[in-house]
Each structure stands twice: as C-alpha cells, then as structure tokens.
Amino acid sequence: MEKAELARKIRSISLLRGRFKLRSGKISSFYWDKYRFESRPELLEAILEKMQKLLPASFHKFAAMELGGIPLATGLSLKTGKDCLYVRKTAKNYGTRNLVEGGFNKDEKVVVVEDVITTAGQVCSSIRQMRTLGLIVEDVICVIDRQQGGRENLEKIGCSLACLFTMEELERIAQDKD
C-alpha cells in the first residue's frame, strides 16, 4: 500500500471529531483512535511494513508502552525476529511486581514503539524508568506525531523520534485528495 493511501485510510477510519481529553490533560477537538487502525489486519500490516523502515540499524529489543504500542511492537517483533518488552505505567503489586515484562539484560538497547505521540509525557517517564533498570533507550518510533511537543520533550532526554506520519503530513495528504 502506498504511503498516501495508507494515510487516507488511517485518517478516515481513526480520526474522530468532538471534545476529547488527552493523556496529557489537554482538551482536543480531535482524537486519533489508534485501536481502529491497530485492529484492522490490512492496515496494521501496511503500518508495520512502513515502520520497519524507521528502525535504527542496531538494537536488541522493542519496548511497547501499555496498551496502544503493544500490537505494533508485537507485529514488528514477528517481522524482525527481535524480542519485545512490555512496559507498564506502574509496576504491578502482585506476582513478579515487574514494571518491564518480557525479560532483559542490563545494557540492552531497546527501541520504544508507540502509536500516537502528543507531548510524550508518559513515554519520557517510562524511558527514565527503563534507564534506571539498566536499559539503553535512544530511539522512539510511532505511527502519528501530533506535533504538540513530543519530539522536543524526547530530545530533552536524549531520544530521537521517527514517525510514520506527522499531523501536518496527514492533513496535507487529505487535502491533496479533496
């Protein structure tokens, strides 16, 4: 699937209009419902194909934030043969009490996989926690960058962001069709 066609499909299926409170606490007149594109096999397959091209040359594992990044990281894991880690917002208080699930060794380099980045507040917090556990985190990839400070916040903690689409790009592609 061509990138422009993929952008149009993602936009038509998952862009919702209304009044939405984002994880950052901000109110938005639109919302990207990632579950609408992550739950459709033909879209997920096309997204994963394009996301593979965003990956750095060398790393050990993927790290997915619960919940939205998990289908993407799992799909990339299947495509590349690299293991996944699943990162909780907070460590569970039963069982293993792990914050990061999946098993890892100190000094392994991980690529964080996300669906939509707004301010990257939770992602930055999770990266700091992963670093405390001994993981090396320098790269984040996502499907959509809402262009609301996420890239800049990630850069402040020493991470780069590679996105499949920016908001500006999705809007431009939509206008090109009209």
> Using one digit for the tens of pLDDT, what is the confidence trace for 57-98?
999 999 999 888 999 999 999 999 999 999 998 888 888 899
Taking residues 168-178, report their average pLDDT. 82
Q: Using pLDDT thresholds of 50, 70 and 90, give the confidence band for residue 8.
A: very high
- Phi first, then psi: give them for residue 169, nearest 5 degrees: -65, -45
Give yes or no for residue 99 having a pLDDT over 60: yes
- pLDDT confidence of residue 177: 64
Higher pLDDT, 95 or 10: 10
Query: What are φ and ψ of residue 38, in 5° steps?
Result: -75, -20
pLDDT, residue 16, reads: 95
What are the angstrom distances between the C-alpha of 119 and each of 74, 75, 126, 151? 24, 25, 13, 8
State the pairing for strand pair 15-21/27-32: antiparallel
State the Cα–Cα distance between residues 82 and 155, nearest whole angstrom: 25
- State mean pLDDT over 122-133: 97
The count of domains in the chain is 1
126 pLDDT more than 90? yes
pLDDT given for residue 6 in this prediction: 96
Dump pLDDT digits (tens) for 133-155: 999 999 999 999 999 999 999 99
Q: Which residues contact 26 (CB under 8 A, 6 or more apart)?
A: 118, 119, 148
Structural domain of residue 79, as residue ranges? 3-177
17-62 confidence digits (pLDDT tens): 999 998 888 899 999 999 999 999 999 999 999 999 999 999 999 9
- How many DSSP H helices and E strands does the chain contain? 7, 8
Where are any strands of DSSP class E within the chain?
Answer: 15-21, 27-32, 61-65, 83-87, 100-101, 109-117, 136-145, 160-166
Q: What is the CATH number of the domain that holds 19?
A: 3.40.50.2020
